[in-house]
Structure formats: structure tokens, C-alpha cells
């Protein structure tokens, strides 16, 4: 009779509370990592937008120039127009390179490359391809963490173009 009179206690046990806190901590750490990646991708997309002016200039120059310009003489070099883009550089073949700056320690100082290419996907070279239209662009980086943060259509390994002479 005495056990019936006793009221059942309500609430959570210490073990239940510890498990709940552990689950919340794990989910929180995953969310923070995903947010960091999302933020990095958004900022790198801003760098890509800053390259559009130079991309248009190189495209026009391939069609109109009679002689190959030297590295750094395509007419679009200089400030990237974004707080996350360093100074835009070009090679003698019109490859555009921009360093990432002011973003985060993982990718600062690394480069994004835009390579003018034929419709077949092969990179264009001067002076042989002057007068021809740029059919597509090879877009990417020579460093894997930067490629992973780039838009999906811009994740090519551009290591072969990284050794060019840029000014």
C-alpha cells in the first residue's frame, strides 16, 4: 500500500541529460564546419565575378589583336574589384590568374585561373590562335582546397598553367 501512495518522480536523469548535451555538441560542430565552407564558397564566388571584366577583355583581344601581347599586357590587369581578390595577372597566352586575399587562412595566397580554350577544351596559345574566338574557359585552381570551394563548373586542375609567366 505504501508503494502505491508514493508518487512517481518526473524529469530527466543525469545520463539522459549528458547524452542530449553530447548529441547537441556533435550536431553543432558539424553545422559550424558547414557554415564555414558555405561562407568560403560565397566569398570565392565574389572573386569569380570580379574576373568577368578581364575575361571579356581577353575574349575580345583574341578576336581583334594581330600580334601577341606580352604577359601583363592584355589590358585588364590590376585590382580585382573585390575585397577577396588580389591583383589580376595575365600570361602571354591570355591565362588569367588572381590570388585570393583576405578570405581565410586556408585559401589566402592561392590562385584561381581562367584559361581561354577552344570549343574542344584545349587551351589557346598565342600567336597561333589570335583571330579565333574563345570557345570556352577552363576554370579552376592548382590547389585542391580552392577547387573544392569553387563553383561546380569551375573545378578543373590548372596546375599545368600555373607555371606560366604572369605579370
* 70-88 pLDDT, tens digit each: 999 999 999 877 899 999 9
pLDDT digits (tens, 9 = 90+) for 103-139: 888 899 999 999 999 999 999 999 999 999 999 999 9
Query: Quick one: angle between helices 52-64 and 14-50, nearest 10?
Result: 30
Domains of the chain: 14-162 (3.30.700.10)
**Helix, strand, coil shares of the chain as percentages rounded to 5?**
40, 15, 45
What is the average pLDDT score of the chain? 91
pLDDT digits (tens, 9 = 90+) for 23-48: 999 999 999 988 988 999 999 988 99
Amino acid at each position: 500500500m505504501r508503494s502505491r501512495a508514493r508518487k512517481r518522480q518526473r524529469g530527466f536523469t543525469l545520463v539522459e541529460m549528458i547524452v542530449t548535451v553530447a548529441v547537441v555538441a556533435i550536431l553543432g560542430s558539424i553545422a559550424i564546419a558547414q557554415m564555414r565552407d558555405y561562407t568560403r564558397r560565397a566569398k570565392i564566388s565574389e572573386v569569380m565575378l570580379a574576373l568577368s571584366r578581364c575575361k571579356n577583355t581577353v575574349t575580345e583581344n583574341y578576336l581583334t589583336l594581330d600580334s601577341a601581347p606580352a604577359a601583363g599586357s592584355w589590358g585588364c590587369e590590376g585590382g580585382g574589384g573585390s575585397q577577396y581578390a588580389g591583383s589580376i595577372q595575365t600570361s602571354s597566352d591570355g591565362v588569367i590568374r588572381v590570388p585570393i586575399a583576405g578570405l581565410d587562412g586556408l585559401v589566402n595566397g592561392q590562385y584561381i585561373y581562367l584559361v581561354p580554350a577552344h570549343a574542344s577544351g584545349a587551351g589557346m596559345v598565342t600567336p597561333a590562335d589570335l583571330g579565333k574566338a574563345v570557345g570556352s574557359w577552363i576554370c579552376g585552381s592548382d590547389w585542391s582546397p580552392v577547387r573544392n570551394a569553387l563553383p561546380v563548373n569551375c573545378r578543373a586542375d590548372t596546375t599545368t598553367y600555373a607555371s606560366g609567366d604572369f605579370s
